[in-house]
Chain A
């Protein structure tokens, strides 16, 4: 069973506009959420994270929003750039020192020049 779901496999956005990538989870024990970006032929790269005690975390052009009641989080990229074109994975972890992550299937973002 998919505990972390990224239901949209792809997203295409015009350069300069906002990209919104969505992620849903089912396990209420998840305590920490992360987004990773992956380019072809490379490993995933950590992008941004958020703890369950927060509802927003911002880092430059990237903002992650968490809605615990809806078990939903989203990654906003503003403004989108062609270099942002990649696969984005949402991941979640339980509390404690065991930082084992459960990943979603990923969303392929294409930013059109």
Chain B
């Protein structure tokens, strides 16, 4: 098991373009979380899945953001019509009951820069 994997590691996009990130959790981890981290801040919760069900979304997740986990394995996070304020590190984490469901394992993140 290679841990939580995120792709791409870096993404530079022009304002107004759509971007999609992928997260592959640790296999058999039921829960998958998306967090966002901006410079000088701690990670902020965006959304999480229990298997394929999206159970909660933060108010930070505007209508331009959508996340999916179609088969309860990998997840995608799409941002439509990107804005400069979307520039951040997007982190994915997974967990299972063994960790008390807390996001114990984070991926390396996808750094998004909107120019």
Give the interface of A toward B (CB within 8 A).
4, 6, 32, 34, 36, 41-46, 49, 89, 91, 93, 97-106
- Tell whether, in the assembled complex, residue A49 and residue B107 are in contact, meaning their CB atoms are under 8 Å apart: no
Work out how many contacts link A and B, with CB atoms closer than 8 A.
Answer: 56
- Tell whether, in the assembled complex, residue A89 and residue B42 are in contact, meaning their CB atoms are under 8 Å apart: yes
- Tell whether, in the assembled complex, residue A46 and residue B104 are in contact, meaning their CB atoms are under 8 Å apart: yes
- Tell whether, in the assembled complex, residue A44 and residue B102 are in contact, meaning their CB atoms are under 8 Å apart: no
CB-nearest residue of chain A relative to B46?
A: A100
- Tell whether, in the assembled complex, residue A43 and residue B42 are in contact, meaning their CB atoms are under 8 Å apart: no
A89 CA / B103 CA spacing, docked (Å): 13
Give the interface of B toward A (CB within 8 A).
4, 31, 40-45, 48, 55-56, 91, 93, 95, 99-109
CB distance from A33 to the nearest CB of B (A): 10
CB-nearest residue of chain A relative to B107?
A: A43
